[in-house]
Homo-oligomer: A and B are copies of this chain.
Amino acid sequence: MTQRRVTIKQVAAEAGVSITTVSHVLNDVPGKRVHPDTKDRVREAAARLGYLPNSLAQSLRTQRSNTIGFIGDEVATTPFAGKMILGAQDVALSRDAVVFVVSTGYQREVENREIEELLRRQVDGILYASMYHRAVELPPQLASVPTVLINASCTTDGIPWVVPDEVAGGEDAADVLLGAGHRRLAFINDVDEIPAAFGREEGFRRRAAQAGLRDDDLQVVTAETDPAGGYAAARQLLESDNRPTAIFCFNDRLAMGVYRAATELGLRIPHDLSIVGFDNQEFVADGVFPGLTTIELPHYDMGVWATEQLFDRIEGGPRKAGPAPTTRLRGPVIHRDSVASPPWVQDPGERREPSDRRGNAGSDGAAPTIRTNK
């Protein structure tokens, strides 16, 4: 059935010119002037035959495949992978490129095989993505091809990387709570010692200190980052003498447990207890009641940034001047309904206005702020 695809030769024949000419007009080669009439004839012929240049042949000749690889440690169990991939493919498509997606499942051998397959296919570059913010060691085979890290940092130099601005996230969370008038805060942090844990705590503490909170007005505890962990930590926090009026949670899943604890203790959210989460896992943050105000992780934007960097490097030749760029991207705060002023506060300070969903590719400037409907 699948009759052989139409080639440049057929187009040439159809247009009554040589294949060289076809190539010239179809590629708009700079120095070459081709008679307008000829051009038209060629274009028509190509269109008539439905000619699509064979990318493999082009790549073989030009040493450029317009193809990049996306290597993820896991692609199925987190909702984040999709956003990074989408960011990557959006900018890829704008350069007529397509992306190979492979998932390693954290297995070195699988990773090696996949890298090999990608290399054999002459990918122009590789995006190496982690599902959670961490430091990685770059597989040595990748040394030969432009590579950019997403949601991960590394010490190999010459490798650009992008991660979320965790500190800013912690600050933003604090600002939301402080802005509403809260003065007794708690932070349920991840037990694991990872960049996100350090960064968010640092930012949160800094703002609390700047706001003049005393040491025992800010409790920090750690927990497993799941509902059970959040529940346990929240019970402890909420039954203590100096009960906080607001809790910042390392992530949304953990926050679910805090909701439960609050409910069990008869505390109403947000009236008796305000909560801010992290991640903006839509089905979670938007599914709990009342909706969870949370800090979004900039996965899509990281995908975009990384891919743009990647193409820069691919096009910029071997190595651009100066060290590789790295950046931390700030995620927007998503306002829902889990934050209110404590009863004794009159003026909760101004509430920020809604803004657009995707406006924040930069890492500096004030945090964009978002209010969801519903």
A residues adjacent to B (C-beta < 8 A): 1-3, 5, 52-57, 59-60, 65, 67, 70, 75-79, 81-83, 85-86, 89, 93, 96-103, 110, 113-114, 116-122, 144-145, 226-228, 231, 253, 256-257, 260, 263, 281-284, 286-289, 300, 318-319, 374
Contact = CB atoms under 8 A, between A and B. Distances in A.
Most buried by B among A53, A103, A284, A287: A287
A52 B98 contact: no
Given A81-B82, A93-B114, A101-B101, 18 more contacts: A2-B145, A2-B318, A53-B120, A55-B120, A56-B59, A56-B122, A75-B82, A76-B83, A89-B102, A93-B102, A93-B117, A98-B118, A99-B102, A256-B288, A257-B289, A260-B289, A263-B263, A283-B284
Contacts of A78: 79, 82
Nearest to A97: B117
Given A76-B300, A82-B77, A98-B117, A57 B55 contact: no
Nearest to A254: B287
A86 B82 contact: no
Nearest first, the 3 closest Cβ-Cβ pairs linking A and B are A76-B82, A76-B86, A55-B120
Contacts of A89: 75, 101-103
21 contacts: A1-B318, A2-B144, A3-B144, A52-B119, A52-B120, A56-B59, A56-B121, A70-B101, A76-B82, A76-B83, A76-B300, A78-B79, A79-B283, A93-B113, A93-B117, A96-B117, A98-B118, A99-B100, A99-B101, A226-B287, A253-B287
Contacts of A288: 227, 256
Nearest to A252: B283
Nearest to A227: B287
A86 B131 CA distance: 15
Most buried by B among A75, A118, A263: A75
A67 B2 contact: no
Contacts of A145: 2
A346 to B, nearest CB: 30
A85 B93 contact: no
A314 to B, nearest CB: 10
A86 B103 contact: yes
Contact of A283 (B2, B121, B228, B253): B253
